Structure 1
Amino acid sequence: MIGQVYHVGLTVSDLDRSVAFYRDILGLRYEGELLMEGGETEAMFQRGNCRARVAYLNGSDQLNMPPVELIQFVGDEVAHKAADLFTTSISELCFYADDADAVYQKLMEQGVECLSSPQEFDFRHDGFGRSRAFYFRDPDGIILEIMQPLDD
């Protein structure tokens, strides 16, 4: 009945700034932008005169990964709430990396707010393996994660 994840949508305050971050800093491939407007858009978002700029970016061609959908509502002020790992919501969007330490270093050089350095986790006893991971924030403060699976 329900299949694979089709995309992951994030509401952003400045689409151009967010596209630049996800494309230029994280290295996702920009797939294009569209403008949503009209009766269907108003019904879907439950708001009259709703217009939304929507951009799609994706990661590696080698990974079967749904695209990131960035949404900026045109003419509407976006409410800014601090992302919080301990509040019911989507807590973070996680990206695969071959080298978490190299990604961390690049993000730090770009002035990206990282919540910690890469940490190593061992969940082999639970059947999930080992990994290195860390959290960081995008320009709107949305929490993102980098995870590097480690070979045993």
Structure 2
Amino acid sequence: MAKIERLAHIGVHVRDMDRSLAFYRDVLGLQVTDDDSAHGMVFLSSRPEVEHHEVLLCGGRTVGEEELWLQQISFRCPTLEDVLEYYARFLEHGVRIEYTVTHGNAIGVYFFDPDGNRCEVYWPTGLKAKQGYLEALDFTRPAAELVEQVRLSVAEHGEDGYVDTRLLSGIDVGSEGS
């Protein structure tokens, strides 16, 4: 049965990035591990050698009339097979899936809980890739093929990061991958 190893990180929307960054970095003592200013994201960790980020700060606390707080809750799995099993379980139970992706340093599935909160289960690949890094993956493919696709992608884009804008635009790339 698929297993979650631990709560890994949360993402929060902030009103003032500079103020929030100063708090998490200077007051709490978290280290900035990546900064994707183009997409309004800063990644922080208390243990960067163990976990790339434990907190993700995202600009844009409000969208129209709606105030956003939670960006995501992420759970780390011990194996890729656990992530793939969760994906199958989500399909079986009608869980709304946002996308199946790699961040270069991880492979995961984003989904929504019954209250519409975005969540993620992921497996760390052990590869280093500048964040933000977001590329669609086809979870109907075997685990070994997914790992090889990610390895090749990181070899090409790991230094600079990569964002598949189709995913950010809400275009359903489904199981077509990238």
Q: TM class, shorter-chain normalised?
A: 0.3 to 0.5
Give the TM-score of the pair, scaled to structure 1.
Answer: 0.37
Higher relative helix content: 2
Q: Structure 2 length normalisation: TM-score?
A: 0.32
Q: Is the radius of gyration larger for structure 1 or structure 2?
A: 1
